[in-house]
Amino acid sequence: MGAVLANANFWYISEAVVCVAGGIVGAYKVIHNALAKSVTEKLREVEAEMKPNHGSSMRDAIDRIEANLNELKVELARHLGAHEGL
């Protein structure tokens, strides 16, 4: 009789371990998928900012800053050239 109870306890414990492990794996998958989706969405947002879209992207802002800086360099060179002989 003791062997039968030990055998039954073994199966109950095994079943509980499998259920807990299944729950852990399921929770891991849910959390992993949520985080992966979040990271993927953020990367898409960053990627979109790196492409020109005719005004509002970070790439457009960088291009405007670069163009303005180049204009300032030309104006400064002209200005300094005009004072070169003084």
For residues 57 and 37, state if they share a domain: no
Q: What total number of domains does the chain contain? A: 2
What pLDDT, on the 0 to 100 scale, is given for residue 1? Answer: 54
pTM above 0.75, yes or no: no
What pLDDT, on the 0 to 100 scale, is given for residue 5? Answer: 55
What pLDDT, on the 0 to 100 scale, is given for residue 67? Answer: 95
For residues 55 and 79, state if they share a domain: yes
For residues 54 and 39, state if they share a domain: no
For residues 4 and 26, state if they share a domain: yes
Which range marks the domain in which residue 64 is found? 50-86
What pLDDT, on the 0 to 100 scale, is given for residue 6? Answer: 65
Confidence of residue 74 (pLDDT cuts 50, 70, 90): very high
What pLDDT, on the 0 to 100 scale, is given for residue 62? Answer: 94
For residues 27 and 59, state if they share a domain: no
For residues 32 and 57, state if they share a domain: no
The two structure tokens encoding residue 64: 């405007």
**Contact partners, residue 63, CB within 8 Å, separation at least 6:** 52
Q: What is the pLDDT of residues 4-49, one digit of tens each?
A: 556 778 888 888 888 999 899 988 888 888 888 888 898 999 999 9
CB atoms within 10 A of CB 60: 15
- DSSP code per residue over the chain: -HHHHHHHHHHHHHHHHHHHHHHHHHHHHHHHHHHHHHHHHHHHHHHHHTS--SSSSHHHHHHHHHHHHHHHHHHHHHHHHHTTT-
Q: What is the pLDDT of residues 61-72, one digit of tens each?
A: 999 999 999 999
- What's at 86, amino acid-wise? L
